[in-house]
Amino acid sequence: MRLHEYEAKEILSRYEIRIPEGGLATSLSRVREIATELHPPLMVKAQVLVSGRGKAGGILFANSPSEAETVAKRLLGAEIKASKVRFLLVEEKLSVKRELYFGVTVDRSNQCYVAMASSTGGMEIEEVAVAMPEKIIRFLIHPLDGFHSHDAVEIARKLGYSNGPRLKLAAILGKLYQVAMDYDGELVEMNPLVETVSGDFVAADARLIVDNNALYRHPELEKRLREQRTEASVLEMKARQKGLAYVKLEGNVGVIGNGAGLVMATLDTIQLHGGKPANFLDVGGGASMAKVAAALDIVFSDPEVSTIFVNILGGITRCDEVAKGILMKRKRSGFVKPIVIRLVGTNEEEGRRVLREAGVPVMDSMEDAAEKAVELAIRRG
C-alpha cells in the first residue's frame, strides 16, 4: 500500500523528523490561504501515487500567494501519468546546502532489511546505482539485532559528516528505521533529505509503502487502501473486464505472458538484466487473438511503459493465435512503442511465419529477449 507524500510526511513528523512548513489543499482558495501563511518562494506539489511526478510537471514553484494560486489552477483536476490530481501540497521552498538520500527497504535476497544512503539525493536511487554505484552506502540490518545508533553514526560519517551534524543526522536515520518497523514498511525513504543552509535536516520529500499483509496491524489504513484501489485501478478494471490478470508495477518494461509462473519468471529475468517491470499481465491458457490484442491495448496505454516484452511458452496457448493477436493490435492502432516477442511451443513455426511475413521479428531465447527489452527501455529513457 502506497501512501501519498503528505501522509508519509505526517508520519515522519510524529517521529520528530522535520518536514517543510505547509499544508494540504483541495481548492484554489485553500492554496492561497496556505501560501499567505508561508514565506515565499513556495512549492506546489501534486499528490498522486506515481513515480517521476516532478519530471511529469507535477511540482511547480511560486514566488507569491497569487502565483501559487495560478500554478495550482494548472494542477488541480489535471492528470499526471494517468492519475487525476485531487489535492495539492503547498510548502515552503527550502534553502538547500546539500541533498541526501536515505531509505530503508526489504532486501529479499538476504532476507533482511537494508538501510541505503547516498550523498546524491534528489535523483532516482536506481539511476544513482547505475551511474554512480560508489555513491550508495548499503547496510544490511540483522533481523534480530536491528539498527543501532552506532550503525547510523557510521553511515553519517561515510556521508561526510562529523561532530554535531553527524549525531543530528544519525538520529534522523534511526527514527526513519523505526518508522519502517512500526508501519511494516516495504519501503520508507526521504529523497531528498535536505541539509539547509542553517544546518537543519529536513525531509523535502518522503515515500512510504506498507506491506498489505500487515494491514491487520494498521486498521487506520484500511479505508485508505480502498480509496487507493479506486484511484489507481483504471487499467486493472479494464483488464478484469477482458478476463486478464493484471497488476500495475512501478517500472517501464511492460510484460505480457501466459501463466502466472512464466510471468513471474519474466519479471525476475527483467530485473536480473537491470530493468524494472511496469506490470504483471497474464493472458491465461488458451488465449484467443482478441484477448492478446486486448492485453497489448492495456499495456500500450500505460504512459510509464517504454517497451513491451511478450513472452509466450505455448502449451494449450497456440503461438499462431498469439501472433494473429499481435498483428490485430498493430493493424488497429500500430506499435507506438518498441515490442520484443518470444514465441516457443505449440504451433510456434506457424506463429513465427505469420509474424515474419508481416515484418515483425521474433526471438526464441527468454534471456536474450529480456535483455533486449531492457536495453530498449533504457535507450528510450
CATH of domain 96-221: 3.30.470.20
Name the percent of the chain lying above pLDDT 90: 76
Multiple choice CATH, 233-380, 2.40.50.140, 3.40.710.10, 3.40.50.261, 3.30.70.360? 3.40.50.261
Give me 234's grid cell.
483504471
**What is the C-alpha separation between 156 and 220, in angstroms, rounded?**
34
pLDDT tens digit string along 98-112?
A: 999 999 999 988 899
Question: Where along the chain do its domains lie?
Answer: 21-92, 96-221, 233-380
Give me the mean pLDDT over the 350-360 stretch: 95
Exactly one of 5, 69, 101, 321 is catalytic; which is it?
Answer: 101
* DSSP label at residue 51: S
**What is the C-alpha separation between 268 and 275, in angstroms, rounded?**
9
Give me 373's grid cell.
527489452
Task: Quickly state the pLDDT bin for 228 (edges 50, 70, 90).
Answer: low
Contacts of 160 (CB under 8 A, 6+ apart): 119
Give me the mean pLDDT over the 128-146 stretch: 88
Indicate whether 19 pLDDT > 70: yes
Task: Quickly state the pLDDT bin for 380 (edges 50, 70, 90).
Answer: confident
Query: Is 101 annotated as catalytic?
Result: yes
Nearest to 194, CA basis, from 13, 2, 17: 17
pLDDT tens digit string along 298-324?
A: 999 998 899 999 999 989 999 999 999
Query: Is 348 annotated as catalytic?
Result: no
Name the percent of the chain lying above pLDDT 70: 97
pLDDT tens digit string along 36-70?
A: 999 999 999 999 988 788 888 999 999 999 999 99
Angle at 303 between CA 51 and CA 335, to 5 degrees: 150
Q: How confident is the model at residue 9, as a pLDDT?
A: 98
Give me 317's grid cell.
496457448
* DSSP label at residue 24: E
3-state secondary structure 337-371: CCEEEEEEECCHHHHHHHHHHCCCCCECCHHHHHH
Contacts of 91 (CB under 8 A, 6+ apart): 20, 21, 22, 38, 42, 43, 45
Indicate whether 31 pLDDT > 60: yes
Q: How confident is the model at residue 233, as a pLDDT?
A: 59
Q: How confident is the model at residue 337, as a pLDDT?
A: 92
Indicate whether 359 pLDDT > 60: yes
Give me 298's grid cell.
492495456
Residue that is written with C-alpha cell 535536516 in the block:
201
Residue that is written with C-alpha cell 510524529 in the block:
14
pLDDT tens digit string along 165-198?
A: 999 999 999 999 999 999 999 999 999 999 999 9
Exactly one of 5, 186, 189, 348 is catalytic; which is it?
Answer: 189
Beta strand pairing call for 136-141 and 83-84? unpaired
CB atoms within 10 A of CB 143: 10
Q: Which of 214-218, 234-238, 326-330 has the lowest mean pLDDT?
A: 234-238
**What is the C-alpha separation between 190 and 203, in angstroms, rounded?**
6
Asked whether this chain's domains 96-221 and 233-380 adopt the same fold, the reply is no
Fold exhibited by the domain 21-92: Dna Ligase; domain 1 (3.30.1490)
Indicate whether 232 pLDDT > 70: no
